[in-house]
Amino acid sequence: MKIFRVALAAGAIALGFAATAIAQDNKLRLITWADYVPADVLAQFKKESGIDVEVTLSNNEEMISKLRATGGAGFDLAQPSQDRIVGPQQEFGIYKPMDMSKIKTELFIPSMLDATKKNTTLKNQVYGLPHIWGTDGLVVNTKLAQMSDYPDLCNPKYKGKTSVRLKRPTLLAFAFAAGKDPFALYGDTKAYTALMDEVGKTLIACKGNIKFFWDNKDQLLNGARTGEIVGAMMWDTGGWKLNGENTEIQYIAPKSGALGWIDTFALPAKGRNDAAAYAWINFNMRPEIAAKVAASAGNFTASKGADQLMDAKLKAQFAKSFPEAALKNVKWYPAVPPGIEDIEGKVLDRVKAAS
């Protein structure tokens, strides 16, 4: 009888482990950006696949930090920007390559898929696939200010009425506006440091114009709504949202070029549920699903055909902000090599500390 009870106990333990494994198989742990997982899309995925999705909201810096701290554990799928994959992978080994045989590549816009694969390939292995894309440029209250490029934010007549983020995109934007190509200097540490130092001096001289360095979207949007901010370096959909409320506020592609980003799908190195990750990627790239995500995020996606299902007003706003020449002039972020962000961080610290 004792032996029988032991056998029963062992069987119960085994069943417990099996149940845990099944539960794990039915969960996708996703680290992503705000608005990329609307509730109706989440519910439809669960209904179709039986897989629960545990969502953690984050940003590029936090994704890298969290995955670096765990060696790539804790999540099954991440959504870093395409320029934040190769460098962190070389330094920290936080991702694993994609099995392209499990991806329905026909669902992607071919040119965007090819470009992102190229920018996220390391040792002939692909580490990222495109999902959401957009730009940073100028958002201007055209009734209160006239601006065509980033340095206009520093015009003395707008003292105390403009805003930028104290982050690397601002450094890059002002470098391009000065007629330089910072991306071309990624391989020359000395030259890149010198360029960033010059841009830092420009931003320090501009501080009197800056009402605040924005660090959350509500702060910035509310400042623009009230007229407290007459111009800002901002993401496109923020500008289009404000334009929908007040037609005098417009998103403008700067003369020196808007900065273009692509947020991707990437597999953390120690993710435990690759099957769920691939299912989520393929599900999200279906045009009808991608259109729902795009409506939530306010950005366009790399899904082939999804743009035809997008809101007509957003398409019209995009066309106005990006005539053909402006679209061709977008500066797309390439992969960030190791060490570049350390150089930028020191410059940003000096700008922050300057009186």
DSSP 132-167: EEEEEEEEEETTT---SSGGGGG-GGGTT-EEE-SS
Position 25 scores a pLDDT of 67
Q: Where does the pLDDT of residue 221 fall: very low under 50, low under 70, confident under 90, or very high at 90 and above?
A: very high
Domains of the chain: 2-133+261-319 (3.40.190.10), 135-260+322-353 (3.40.190.10)
**pLDDT of res. 14:** 43
- Model confidence at 10, pLDDT cuts 50, 70, 90, reads very low
Radius of gyration in angstroms for the set of CA atoms belonging to the chain, rounded to a whole number: 23
pLDDT for the residue 327? 85
- The residue-averaged pLDDT of 52-77 equals 96
Q: Over the stretch 243-278, which tens digit does the pLDDT of each residue have?
A: 999 999 999 999 999 999 999 999 999 999 999 999
Q: What percent of the chain has pLDDT over 70?
A: 93
Q: Are 83 and 255 in contact (CB under 8 A)?
A: no
Q: Tell me how far CA of residue 282 lies from CA of 197, 278, 290, in angstroms.
A: 44, 6, 10
- Bridge partner residues of 52 (DSSP): 27
Q: Which residue has the tokens 């694993």?
A: 96
User: Is the pLDDT score of 5 beyond 80?
Assistant: no
Q: What is the pLDDT of residue 16?
A: 45
As a whole number of angstroms, the distance between CA 44 and CA 232 comes to 38
Give Cα separations from 108 to 105, 127, 129, 134, 306 (angstroms).
Answer: 6, 16, 9, 16, 10
The pLDDT, as a whole number, for residue 12 is 44
Residue 86 has pLDDT above 90, yes or no: yes
Instruction: State the chain's mean pLDDT as an integer.
Output: 92
pLDDT of residue 312: 87
